[in-house]
Structure 1
Amino acid sequence: MTFHRARVRAATALLLGAALAATAPLAASAAPAGPAGHPDGHHGGAETITTSAAVDQPLTQKFGTYGDTAGRWTGADSAYSVALPGGKTAWLYSDTFLGTVNADHSRPADSPFIHNSIIVDNHGTLTTYNGGTATAPESLVRVPGGDEAQNWYWFGDGTVEGNHLRVSLLEFARTGTGGFDFAFQNSAIASFSLPSMRLEGITQRPAGIVQWGSAIYEDGGYTYVYGVEDLQSTKYLHLSRVRNGQLTTGVRQYWTGTGWSTDESTSARIMDGVANEFSVTKFQGKYTLVTGDTTEALSAKVVMYRADALTGPFLNKTVLYTTPETSGNVFTYNAKAHPELGDRNTLLVTYNVNSFDTADVYADVDNYRPRYVDVDVNISH
């Protein structure tokens, strides 16, 4: 079984588990989402939201051409973006195919496959960073002393602190020989020097049940780090924070539902219905969470929630986009917005495409590549 088949089977379990989320009760501290266009019941007042969406052609063409012709990166999932100094952008990927693309747009059966990589966009010039050598590529960040057949890192969100790019890491380990036999182990943070992108080291975090790094947002002197408590059938949103510039060194605080504590065990379940990856940013006057909708089984919906505080409640659920690829074996997941690449009226949203039939991702490279969509948002009160 290839790593990719294991990942696809795991995604199958997670997505099918979401079918139960629609009927699972919320935790006492969770906040229900109000319908789009209805009053959100919070002091910020009611919002009526209308949207329109279109494929972002420049980004689609840029990464399509690079993937087809560069002989390096041919597709990946996750697709977080981080603004780097000098107008560059780092795109953070988890499972990644390297190599070439055939003339019929298929992926060679012997394409190298690794668990994480980064592409830096330097004003239109794309450069892929991964570990190993050209003939024996490896993941950019590997579990120290580990064997990638047994344990590996997937990337979460990232941020820049001084001359360092910090990237959230989620460690997973195989627990048996079956397709679903692997489990989350711990969160960590990788540090890269800028502009060289040299891996400086890995900062381990205390063991816990929350997968930290689903989204990162700096606000008011703090770096806020969102995480997911993944119960498969239900995924709960959690929030932590640390002083700006101290992601690897500072004392982490956790939102308890009423205040902040340094005890991670008191971290509150803010809401459910989020995916493992999402985004939170300030947009048109409120904190805006963009995610794939996990309240429905195998949902094609990309949804937005709004809040007056980073701690929530996130309300006024609005459908931003329905992914056209979702059909048959092909599914979409892990939608998120990229505020540094949009504008005050438009959210650039990406999402991942995959298939329950591994043959699909080899038959057509587009079945395992991110998508890029511009969503124009009109909000009135």
Structure 2
Amino acid sequence: MHRPPFPLLTAAILFLGTACGHRTAAQRDATLATDTVNLSYTVEEAPEWTRLFDRTSGWFGADGIFSIPLHGVDTPQSTQGSQTLLVFSDTMIGEIEDGELQPGSVMINNSVAILDGTAPDGNRIRFFWDSDSAGKPASVFVPETPQAQPGEYYWLGDGFVNRELSNTTYVFGYRIRHTAAAVFPFEEVGNTLIAIPAGSQPPFKNHRQMDTPFFIRDSVDSRNNGSFGAGILVNTADAGTPAPDGYVYVYGVRGPKKHVLVARVRPKEFEQFAAWHFWDGAGWNTDIYQAAPIADRASNELSITPLPDGRYALVFQIDGIGTTVGLRIGLSPAGPFGPIKELWDCPEVGQKGLFVYNAKAHFNLSEKGELLISYNVNSFDFLSDIQKTPNLYRPRFIRVKFL
């Protein structure tokens, strides 16, 4: 477990103690409004959530895992008595017996689950995928937009329920195709918005798909490409956020330095792509190519959530597939953001050939005053290792407690 360095933690406690004991509320708020450094917290494993995805029949592994409260309120424990949609990217379907993967397992490109309530109860979660004409497992979402090409598939980004557009659930889909690269032989070629009508049930046969202009293509060097949908903050009163300004903030990641970009749009205009504006470093601009970084060293999946003190937490895997879960403190949904805090050194990296990636928070599943965070585990020798350790490919969870 990685705790904050002792001087930082002590400084944070002294800072908060001074603010609470000798300053007025206005003075405390004024200090926090400019502080992107000090934060008092502890971090621990959340084994009950990790165990929830340790399965031996049907769905037994995936990466991705974004959580979407289906009643549209995204605050801690807000889905108590309601449901959360979980979306996954590459997914393993099959059977495990006595720790060994049985013949016939398959990988599909995306799947979903529905969790009733906020407890990690194996009896209250159901996993879903589609079936092809032969009855074999198939992805829930398959590219079918005008720009889609044969052989492409979707990895899924973040999503939310838009209470101002008939409670439609929106999920970003990245169009992916295979390449001849020796390492990571795939590339993103387009960005899609998937719209699921309210009341639709998995595998969501009545969903819509829209090509978007939110894929940034660098004509000189494809390594500098970028895409939006890595994380979403619904900063509205309907969503329950503490300081709503009425916008939906959608985050993107671009280039090898994993620069974080941000766009915003009113919920009613979410499908009106010309109404989107991008932060250019000084203001909000309609030109996506003027989008300026608000942070770097992030991961292609991330989250931003309000902190209990009114600031914002950007959670990510440091350097994309680095060994550590990181957090930056922001003063607004668009920053500025402070230095990286190293929350957790992922122990799985110590196992030969494994890597970790795409950490993010799950706000509606968190307890009050806490932040539930997942990260993904995978192998550089996947086909071999999944046979030997079939349960390796699934999310792990930690819990940040704010002091």
TM-score interval w.r.t. the shorter chain? 0.7 to 0.9
Residue 317 of structure 1 pairs with residue 318 of structure 2: no
- The aligned counterpart of 2:304 is 280
Residue 221 of structure 1 pairs with residue 246 of structure 2: yes
Q: Give the Cα–Cα distance (whole angstroms) in 1 for the partners of residues 246 and 107 of structure 2.
A: 39
Residue 79 of structure 1 pairs with residue 65 of structure 2: yes
**Contact in 2 for aligned 1:167/1:190 (Cα 8 Å):** yes
State the percentage of identical aligned residues: 29
**Paired residue type of 2:198:** L
1:43 to 1:62, Cα distance in 2 relative to 1, 3 A: closer
**Contact in 1 for aligned 2:314/2:327 (Cα 8 Å):** yes
Q: Residue by residue, what CA displacement relative to the aligned partner does 1:38-74 show, whole Å, maximum 9, x if unpaired?
A: 89x985236533432232233233332xx22xx3211
1:313 to 1:128, Cα distance in 2 relative to 1, 3 A: same
Residue 174 of structure 1 pairs with residue 178 of structure 2: yes
Q: Residue by residue, what CA displacement relative to the aligned partner does 1:118-145 show, whole Å, maximum 9, x if unpaired?
A: 1111245222222224831211111127
**Paired residue type of 2:297:** G
Residue 348 of structure 1 pairs with residue 349 of structure 2: no
- The aligned counterpart of 1:189 is 193
1:88 maps to which of 53, 65, 83: 83
Residue 49 of structure 1 pairs with residue 39 of structure 2: yes
**Contact in 2 for aligned 1:253/1:262 (Cα 8 Å):** yes
Question: Given the two structures, how large is their TM-score scaled by the length of structure 2?
Answer: 0.76
Q: For 1:142, what is the secondary structure of its paired residue?
A: coil
**Paired residue type of 1:130:** W
Equivalent residues in 2 for 1:101-250 (5 A)?
101-104=96-99, 106-123=100-117, 124=121, 125-133=124-132, 135-144=135-144, 150-161=151-162, 162-176=166-180, 178-197=182-201, 198=204, 199-206=206-213, 207-209=215-217, 210-219=226-235, 220-229=245-254, 231-232=255-256, 234-249=257-272
Q: Give the Cα–Cα distance (whole angstroms) in 1 for the partners of residues 8 and 95 of structure 2.
A: 44
- The aligned counterpart of 2:361 is 337
**Contact in 2 for aligned 1:49/1:318 (Cα 8 Å):** no
**1:195 shift after superposition:** 2.7
**1:109 shift after superposition:** 4.8
Q: Give the Cα–Cα distance (whole angstroms) in 2 for the partners of residues 121 and 313 of structure 1.
A: 34
Q: For 1:101, what is the secondary structure of its paired residue?
A: strand
Q: Give the Cα–Cα distance (whole angstroms) in 2 for the partners of residues 305 and 336 of structure 1.
A: 12
**Contact in 1 for aligned 2:36/2:331 (Cα 8 Å):** no
- The aligned counterpart of 2:291 is 267
**Contact in 2 for aligned 1:166/1:189 (Cα 8 Å):** yes
Q: For 1:215, what is the secondary structure of its paired residue?
A: strand
**Paired residue type of 2:258:** K
**Contact in 2 for aligned 1:166/1:190 (Cα 8 Å):** yes
**Paired residue type of 1:236:** H
**Contact in 1 for aligned 2:61/2:91 (Cα 8 Å):** yes
Q: Give the Cα–Cα distance (whole angstroms) in 1 for the partners of residues 46 and 181 of structure 2.
A: 41
Alignment RMSD (CA, Å): 2.5
Q: Considering fraction of residues, name the structure with more strand.
A: 1
Q: Give the Cα–Cα distance (whole angstroms) in 2 for the partners of residues 45 and 370 of structure 1.
A: 32
Q: Give the Cα–Cα distance (whole angstroms) in 2 for the partners of residues 243 and 122 of structure 1.
A: 29
**Contact in 1 for aligned 2:33/2:311 (Cα 8 Å):** no
Structure 1 gaps of 5+ residues are 1-34
- The aligned counterpart of 1:363 is 388
**Contact in 1 for aligned 2:192/2:212 (Cα 8 Å):** yes
Q: For 2:39, what is the secondary structure of its paired residue?
A: strand
**Contact in 1 for aligned 2:67/2:362 (Cα 8 Å):** yes
- The aligned counterpart of 1:100 is 95
Q: Give the Cα–Cα distance (whole angstroms) in 2 for the partners of residues 325 and 119 of structure 1.
A: 25
Q: For 2:61, what is the secondary structure of its paired residue?
A: strand
**Contact in 1 for aligned 2:232/2:304 (Cα 8 Å):** yes
Q: Give the Cα–Cα distance (whole angstroms) in 1 for the partners of residues 355 and 184 of structure 2.
A: 18
**Contact in 2 for aligned 1:172/1:182 (Cα 8 Å):** yes
**Paired residue type of 1:263:** D
**1:241 shift after superposition:** 1.0
- The aligned counterpart of 2:15 is none
**Paired residue type of 1:59:** W
**Contact in 2 for aligned 1:354/1:361 (Cα 8 Å):** no
Larger gyration radius, structure 1 or structure 2: 2
